[in-house]
Amino acid sequence: MRIYDQALDETTLWQVMHTDKYVPYHTATPLDLKLYDDNEDAVIYITDAPLRAPQSLHLEITNTSPLPLSLRATADDAPSAVNHHFALHFRKGTLNNTGQVRLSAADKHWAISQPQALARDKSVLVYYLLWTGSGSADALRLEANERLKLTLTHLTAAPGSGTRNTSVELRTANLWQGKTAGRRCLRKPCGVA
């Protein structure tokens, strides 16, 4: 409810009403996130021989909006806190050998950063993912219901205190819907076993 100290003219009233319109969930959060292993389980396994048996996790991002989304190419091909399309957040202590994580060879138009601690929260490690472009394309377009799949390789879970649950967070940048830029945040549960 809003209270004004004067009567609003018709134009202003309609502008306020238009601004307050309900925004459907799929428009406000136009992405869905799945993170799973080769067996389609949302889990990272603790193993005794991490170098002999590295794991892969598949990051699947789906445009759930009825409108296309675009990832615009950036001037620099090096992913960082200020230059990325996706930021994948893990709690510290979730992954072992964090510096070895890479993208699969099939993801040749993507780059991944070394893990970085968040400036505001040192208990979170972030991998920045950047679409580096493909030929002359200046944007990667995701149509409605289209999926983008990236594969993170050489992952192992840190033994820590054994089997536990954790959350993985995906944040976006340089994401466009029509002419509007946006930043979004999604969280998904992931098991460490």
* Predicted local confidence at residue 187, as pLDDT: 54
Domain borders along the chain are: 24-192
Number of CB atoms found within 10 A of residue 83's CB: 17
* Predicted local confidence at residue 101, as pLDDT: 86
DSSP for 58-103, written as a single string: EEEEEE-SSS-EEEE--S-SS--SSS-SEEEEEETTSEESGGG-EE
CATH of the domain spanning 24-192, picked from 1.10.3470, 3.40.50, 2.30.30, 2.60.40: 2.60.40
3-state SS assignment for residue 19: helix
* Predicted local confidence at residue 186, as pLDDT: 52
Q: Where are the alpha helices (DSSP H) in 83-154?
A: none
Question: Residues 150, 107: contact at Cβ < 8 Å?
Answer: yes
pLDDT along the chain (193 residues), means of 10: 66 68 52 89 74 78 88 86 89 77 90 85 85 74 92 84 80 76 53 51
* Predicted local confidence at residue 23, as pLDDT: 43
pTM flag (> 0.95):
no
* Predicted local confidence at residue 146, as pLDDT: 94
* Predicted local confidence at residue 178, as pLDDT: 66
* Predicted local confidence at residue 24, as pLDDT: 44
